[in-house]
A and B are shown apart, each in its own frame.
Chain A
Amino acid sequence: MSAERWKEDEALLESLRKGTPDAVDELLRLYQGKIFNLAMSILKNESDAEEAAQDVFMTVIRKADTFQGNSAFYSWMYRICVNTCLMRLRGKRRNETVSIEEFMPVFTDEGMHASPMDDWSKEVERDALNEELGQMIRKFTEELSEKYRVVFVLSDVEGLSNEETAKILGLTVPAIKSRLHRARLYLREQLSRYLREGKAG
C-alpha cells in the first residue's frame, strides 16, 4: 500500500462523509474497476458482478459515516464487496469448479516425486508467450473454487499482504498462507500440463 494511495483514500473518505458533490465521482473513478473485477472474479458473471458492484457502492456511500477507520478504507470496501458477492453465491447453484486435489503434487510412500518433472521455467521467459500465459492463468484461476479463488485474487492479483487478506476475509494468517500455497501449486501444475500438451500437439 503506497503512502499516496493512503492519502487519496483518506481524502476520499473525508469528502464522502461531508457529502461533497464530487465525492461520488471520485469514489467511482478510483474504485469501480477494482470492485467490478473483484466481483467478476468471485461471481464469474457480468450481470451478477454489475449488480453486486451497485450494492457495494450504495453500502459504502451509506456507511461512510459510521466507518470506524480501524482498518484501511480500501480493505473495508473490499470486505463489503467479498461479503456481498458471497451472499449472492449462497442462493445460487454452484458454478462448475475443478477439484484442487487433482492438481496437487504426487509423492511416493517415501515422499519422493512420483512423476517425472519438466523444467519449463526457461521456456516461459520468452516474451512471445506472455499474453498467452496471462490468459491461461486467468482461465485456470477462474476454475478454482471460490474458497481458493478469492484468496488468490486478493493476494497475488491485487497484491495485498497476507495480513490484509486475512482481515478482509475474516480468516487467520496461517489459513490464508495455506490456501495461497495450494492455489500456487495448483497453478504450477496446470501450467505444466498446458505447456506439455502444447509441445505434444
Chain B
Amino acid sequence: MICKELAYMLADYCNGTMDPRLREELDDHLSRCEPCMAFTKTFRATCAETRKLRETIEYTIPREVRERLEMFVRSAVLKYPEKVNEYREQVARDRREKVLKLVRAATAGTLSSATALLMESHCAACPECSGYFDAARMAGDHQVTDPPEGIRSHVIALMQALPPGEEFFLA
C-alpha cells in the first residue's frame, strides 16, 4: 500500500467497516510511515470535531425570523383551509377515478401490455385481488363499482410501480 491509497481509504478504516485483510495492510503501512500516521490521526480528529459540533449544535433560528415564519404559516393555513381541503378532495377524487378506470380496463381486458403484466404477476401472488378480479370479469365490466379499500390500495401500488410515461390502457 502507498500513502495515496491510504488517504483515500481512510473513511472505511475510521468507521470500522474495512475488510480485515485490508485493515492489516493499512496498519502495517501506518506503523512504518510517520506522515501517514499524522495524516490519519488528524483526519480522525477532524471527524471527531465535526461530531462534537453535531452534538452541541443548536438549531438557532433568529427570533424575528421564527416569529415571522410562524405567523406566515399559521395565517396561510387559516386563510386557505378551504383551498387546502379543495385540493385534497380533488386529489382523492382523481385517484378514485383512476383506480376505477384501471379496474374496468382490467375487467374488459383493455389494459396496456405493461400494466397487464404487472397485474397478472400481482394476482398470481395475491389471492385477495385474483378473487376480486375473477369475480368482476364474470360479472362484466359495466357492473364494476369502486373496489373495497384492500383492493384499492393494491391497485394504487401497482399504478405507482409502472414506469413513468407508461400508459395504463390500450389506445
Contact = CB atoms under 8 A, between A and B. Distances in A.
Interface of A: 19, 24-25, 28, 32-34, 36-37, 46, 50, 53-54, 57-58, 61-62, 65-66, 68, 105, 107, 110-113, 116-121, 124-125, 130, 133-134, 137-138, 156-159, 177, 180-181, 184-185, 187-188, 191-192
Contacts of B4: 105, 107, 111-112
Contacts of A119: 37-38, 41-42
A133 B49 contact: yes
B61 A32 contact: yes
A69 B157 CA distance: 12
Interface in B86-123: 87-88, 91-92
B interface: dominant SS? helix
A54 B52 contact: no
Interface of B: 2-5, 7-8, 10-11, 34-39, 41-47, 49-54, 56-62, 65-66, 68-70, 72-74, 76-77, 81, 84-85, 87-88, 91-92, 160
Interface centre among B35, B36, B70 (most CB of A within 10 A): B35
Contacts, number: 134
A71 B65 CA distance: 29
A34 B46 CA distance: 23
Contacts of B73: 24, 28, 54, 57-58, 61
A187 B46 contact: yes
A36 B69 contact: yes
A68 B160 contact: yes
A137 to B, nearest CB: 6
Contacts of B160: 68
Closest 7 CB pairs of A and B: A33-B59, A111-B2, A119-B38, A111-B4, A121-B45, A117-B35, A121-B41
A192 B45 CA distance: 11
B69 A50 contact: yes
A59 to B, nearest CB: 11
Contacts of A177: 11
B61 A37 contact: yes
Contacts of A32: 61, 66, 69-70
A123 to B, nearest CB: 9
A117 B33 CA distance: 11
Nearest to B65: A50
B68 A105 contact: no
B42 A181 contact: no
Contacts of B70: 28, 32
B34 A117 contact: yes
Contact of A36 (B44, B61, B74): B61
A120 B3 CA distance: 19
Contact of B49 (A54, A137, A181): A137
B50 A187 contact: yes
B71 to A, nearest CB: 10
A160 to B, nearest CB: 11
A38 B47 CA distance: 20
Contacts of B44: 121
Given A68-B160, A117-B34, A130-B52, 19 more contacts: A24-B74, A24-B77, A32-B61, A32-B66, A33-B60, A36-B59, A46-B65, A54-B73, A61-B77, A112-B2, A113-B3, A119-B41, A137-B53, A156-B51, A158-B54, A180-B11, A181-B11, A184-B11, A184-B43
